[in-house]
Chains A and B, each alone.
Chain A
Amino acid sequence: MDELDGNGAAGLLQEIFGTDMTIAVATCASCGSAAQIGESVLYAGGPGTVIRCRRCEGVLVVITQVRGRHCVDLMGIRALDMPVGSA
């Protein structure tokens, strides 16, 4: 399976967070590197969606969908920078 990038989770993330998350800059809790989620590594198609740090492969985000609810884990992100206001 090809690894995708965070762009592939754009719809899911916007549905959950109510705003475009691909441009959000995530600081990896494992290695401290900061990158836009659109550029991070995406594993999807399996039981859930996993977004990982492109530098250290540490897990940034895990999302599963259970009985109509999204279960979201952001503990792999130490800090999240979002632009103020919507486009």
Chain B
Amino acid sequence: MSPISHGFHRRHTVPDGAADRVPPGQYVTDGFPVLSAGPTPHTPLTEWTFSIRQGSSTVKSWTWQELQQLPAETATVDIHCVTRWSKLDTEWRGVSVDTLLDQVEHDAGYIMAFSDGGYTTNLPLADVTGGKAWVAFSFAGAPLEPEHGGPARLLVPHLYFWKSAKWVRGLELMDEDRPGFWETYGYNMYGDPWKEQRYQGD
């Protein structure tokens, strides 16, 4: 049993009136921690594309310019990282995943988001549609910085933030669920912060 460090406490606790916005085991931060599994990629926008893939084929793809021409939305959401920090009222701008998937005919039940640098994360289709997810390129009114996933990241705020893949480059349509990067190493396939689904078996 670890000795208690008397007087030590987590940096931030739940602000007044926000208790029902903070999932169990989380603390609210004013900052925006930068946590990664690898180096920050720097794909030039002239080379950047976002693709929908099925198997080995690309069924639909957008260049950066084409993405910018799609209708974009502003979303103000709370985000929750599995490492226990939460950030309230974060403001993003991006294209809804619905807008992208609406242009593709499919009957997939799951997707695997894939990113520059090789990161992947899996999600049920139902959790990236119906207004629940975006390909976000702007944060707090400014272009998304590379260290936070820019030029664009997936944003799926109702699940733990490892599902909001930084440097996202596309979605692979899948019939069955398959674990992505962190899921392979023991993290939960779904990741609902309100049920504290951090690890497999939670």
Contacts and interface: CB of A to CB of B under 8 A. Distances in A.
B199 interface: yes
A50 interface: yes
Given A47-B187, A48-B185, A73-B185, A67 B199 contact: yes
Interface in B45-95: 82-83
Interface in A48-64: 48, 50, 52, 57, 59, 62-64
Name the prevailing secondary structure of the A interface residues.
strand
Interface string A61-85: 0111011000101000000000000
Interface residues of A, number: 19
Contacts of B39: 3, 41, 52, 57
Name the prevailing secondary structure of the B interface residues.
loop
Nearest to B182: A47
Interface in B183-202: 184-187, 199-201
B185 A71 contact: yes
Interface of B: 33-39, 82-83, 117-118, 147, 162, 182, 184-187, 199-201
Interface of A: 1, 3, 41, 43, 45-48, 50, 52, 57, 59, 62-64, 66-67, 71, 73
